[in-house]
Chains A and B, each alone.
Chain A
Amino acid sequence: MPAGHGLRSRTRDLFARPFRKKGYIPLSTYLRTYKIGDYVDIKVNGAVHKGMPHKFYHGRTGRVWNVTKRAIGVEVNKQVGNRIIRKRIHVRVEHVQPSRCTEEFKLRKVKNDQLKAEAKAKGEVISTKRQPEGPKPGFMVEGATLETVTPIPYDVVNDLKGGY
């Protein structure tokens, strides 16, 4: 019989619940709120059968474009042939987690605003741009002793003794 390419084909392990985490899902998933424009990760929860996205979207991150009663509309990039399409899918909240991809950016924004405000108060000009890590600074090598190593002449008798 042929393999079959149904909606949930090849998802035996992908949609399985992790070890010792089966059964009721923790209620914080239902208490989270999502606003349009937030970034969310899609992670399918095999315990909830409704509103599951297709297995392609498992592990993808997208932006919220719609919020309905029990589901979230997420816009995900998908490569189709030679182009990338922005696909809009609806996913139930159990299969969605808030993404931390913008967390570092948001924190940096806040910190930079604060730094800029401080610098403005003092009257200095600062650059808040991130710089890549440069080469390590030079240093003096301390406590090094010099040891000269020279090769010893080849001694046939001694070397063969161990070998054969």
Chain B
Amino acid sequence: MPYVKAQKSKSYFKRYQVKFKRRREGKTDYRARTRLINQDKNKYNTPKYRLVARFSNKDIIAQVVHASIAGDIVLAAAYAHELPHYGLEVGLTNYAAAYCVGLLLARRVLKQLEMDDEYEGNVEATGEDFTVEPAESRRPFRALLDVGLVRTTTGNRVFGVLKGALDGGVDIPHSEKRFAGFDKDSKQLDPEVHRKYIFGGHVAAYMRTLMEDEPEKYQSHFGEYIKRGIEPENMEGMYKKVHAAIRADPTCKKSEKEPPKEHKRYNLKKLSYEERKAKLIDRLKALNSADAVENDSDEDDD
């Protein structure tokens, strides 16, 4: 058709109902969020904590958050870009790094709440399913996993974060169905395979195959690993050291940053309500004084 009538008329825009802002941005799944946040009314103000695991292209963000009407409050957070402090510099978004981030977050939260001595969690990372047992004095810290918009397939990295937090000592209701190494047919988790993933075994295996078959690709792909002298054999040892370092000192290290430079302002600053009112009063005064000079002769006519 040569001439196509305009699809979106004025009435279309008048009747259009926008979705919630975060849904328009495609960042929040409200269906999941309502179910995660809703707290039993007879528990009044008890906060319901969620373990939020989000992945960007180069970073992992794990937070323990609880919701409030003013906005969500973050209890503790852990990022993959903090892992260099603990000795892990490359592969910051793989399954093993996700495990480290989950572990770091769990230890940080427990330390903040002074529960870290009671709830050691699973110090030796086997791939087995581990749930925290309640200790004598306090019940374990409970959080619910919030995956966001990720498709929850078996072996997804969000479950790496989950496993890290579980082994760190946080109580999270879960099932082993989605851990890496779960066999669909036999419906069982193979802890050996899961352990391999936790220690980067899958990355090491790929490194080995590339070294044999395509050395150039190995050089380009794993350049950073080679620069730091990380061989497939010592991956497991490296991750074990990182786990130990995390358990030793999970506190957050604040980096020194200079205050940001003042930039020149290119557009006009928006005035506040008081400023605008003051401006109006000034304008009226100016008008009145200018008019008073002209209209003194005309005032009695009306």
Residues of A within 8 A of B16 (CB): 20
With contacts A24-B30, A35-B44 taken as known, whether A30 is within 8 angstroms of B17 at the C-beta atoms is: no
Interface positions, chain B 237-282, Cβ under 8 Å from A, are: none
Dominant secondary structure at the B interface: loop
- Nearest-neighbor residue (CB-CB) of A26 within chain B: B20
Asked if B42 and A69 make an inter-chain contact with CB atoms under 8 angstroms apart, the answer reads yes
Interface 9-residue window, one of B32-40, B54-62, B141-149, B192-200 = B32-40
State the interface size on chain B (CB cutoff 8 A). Answer: 20
Residue B5, interface by CB 8 Å: no
Residue A72, interface by CB 8 Å: yes
- Report the separation of the CA atoms of residues A24 and B38 in the bound assembly, to the nearest whole angstrom: 14
Asked if A70 and B41 make an inter-chain contact with CB atoms under 8 angstroms apart, the answer reads yes
Residue A83, interface by CB 8 Å: no
Residue B67, interface by CB 8 Å: yes
Instruction: Count A/B pairs, Cβ under 8 Å.
Output: 47
Residue A89, interface by CB 8 Å: no
Asked if B40 and A69 make an inter-chain contact with CB atoms under 8 angstroms apart, the answer reads yes
Produce 1/0 per residue, B16-34, CB < 8 A to A: 1101100000000011011
Residue A130, interface by CB 8 Å: no
Asked if A27 and B45 make an inter-chain contact with CB atoms under 8 angstroms apart, the answer reads no
- Report the separation of the CA atoms of residues A106 and B42 in the bound assembly, to the nearest whole angstrom: 25
Residue B69, interface by CB 8 Å: yes
Dominant secondary structure at the A interface: loop
Asked if A31 and B41 make an inter-chain contact with CB atoms under 8 angstroms apart, the answer reads no
Residues of A within 8 A of B67 (CB): 27, 31
Asked if A34 and B41 make an inter-chain contact with CB atoms under 8 angstroms apart, the answer reads yes
Residue B234, interface by CB 8 Å: no
Residues of B within 8 A of A24 (CB): 20, 30-31, 34
A132 to nearest B CB, angstroms? 34
Which listed residue, A20, A27, A33, touches B41 by the CB 8 Å rule?
Answer: A33
What are 25 contact pairs spanning A and B, CB under 8 A? A20-B15, A20-B16, A22-B17, A23-B17, A24-B20, A24-B30, A27-B30, A27-B34, A27-B67, A28-B69, A30-B37, A30-B38, A30-B39, A31-B39, A31-B68, A32-B69, A34-B41, A35-B44, A67-B42, A67-B44, A69-B41, A70-B38, A70-B40, A71-B41, A72-B41
Point out residues on B near A: beta carbons under 8 Å. 15-17, 19-20, 30-31, 33-34, 37-42, 44-45, 67-69
Point out residues on A near B: beta carbons under 8 Å. 20-24, 26-28, 30-35, 67-72, 93
